[in-house]
Homo-oligomer: A and B are copies of this chain.
Amino acid sequence: MTATTHFNTKERILGAAEELFAQFGFAGTSLRQVTSRADVNIAAVNYHFGSKENLVNEVFRRRLDELSENRLKALKAALTESPGSLEAILAAFIEPALALTLDRHGGSAFVRVLARAYAEKNDRLRKFLSDNYGHVLRDFAKAIAACLPGLGKEELYWRLDFTAGALTYAMADFGLIKRPAGVSEQQHCERAARELIRFAAAGLRAV
């Protein structure tokens, strides 16, 4: 990232789109809202991205390339430093997303965009995400399975799904309504991550 990245037309469009997608959804956001918030001309979106669908994909790509890499690095570290620890694996998944939320460059909206994507049944978007980032989820699933040798394949499958739901929606709400007065954003998120890890680990281990 160069020092001027956030002043590029392209980056400004991506940032504005991310915030609006988080708030209004993909269909609920018009390119006019995006270009107006980014303070660029309406024609700039089609010049730089070709179509609205491609803009959506690029909003994901900008963050997910890095997030996926960070998650896989953290997973690798967890598997060598804390072998057999379910909590360490869950932390490797959650903490990079947390870092994004606390990032000064507007990453907090992106976590909510991810939650939106989870609710979307749009096949094209799902295929884009699955093709490009599905391997990350598969690596985590394998690592978690290895921690729970007694668990049947079907049960594991269900529980991973529940865990994904809890993680996605909890993370999406990290920066939102629930922070009590006198608690900093950072403290609040760290608390949420800790609680989430305990909850999911217990659920995955349920007898």
Contact = CB atoms under 8 A, between A and B. Distances in A.
**Residue among A28, A167, A192 with max Cβ neighbours from chain B (10 Å):** A28
A168 interface: yes
A81 B78 CA distance: 45
Interface string A2-40: 000000000000000000001111111000000000000
Contact of A161 (B115, B173, B204): B173
Given A158-B192, A206-B201, A119 B119 contact: yes
A118 interface: yes
Interface in A157-189: 157-159, 161-170, 172-173, 178
A163 B202 CA distance: 12
B159 A195 contact: yes
A204 B199 CA distance: 7
A119 B121 contact: no
**Residue among A192, A198, A201 with max Cβ neighbours from chain B (10 Å):** A198
B195 A155 contact: yes
| Closest 8 A/B residue pairs (Cβ) | A165-B169, A202-B206, A27-B28, A203-B203, A119-B119, A158-B195, A199-B203, A166-B166
Interface SS of A by simple majority: helix
B161 A178 contact: yes
A205 interface: yes
24 contacts: A22-B121, A24-B27, A25-B28, A25-B119, A25-B120, A27-B27, A118-B169, A119-B119, A159-B195, A161-B169, A161-B178, A162-B166, A162-B170, A162-B195, A162-B199, A165-B167, A165-B168, A166-B166, A166-B203, A199-B204, A199-B206, A200-B203, A202-B203, A203-B203
Contacts of A192: 158
Interface in A104-145: 112, 115-116, 118-121
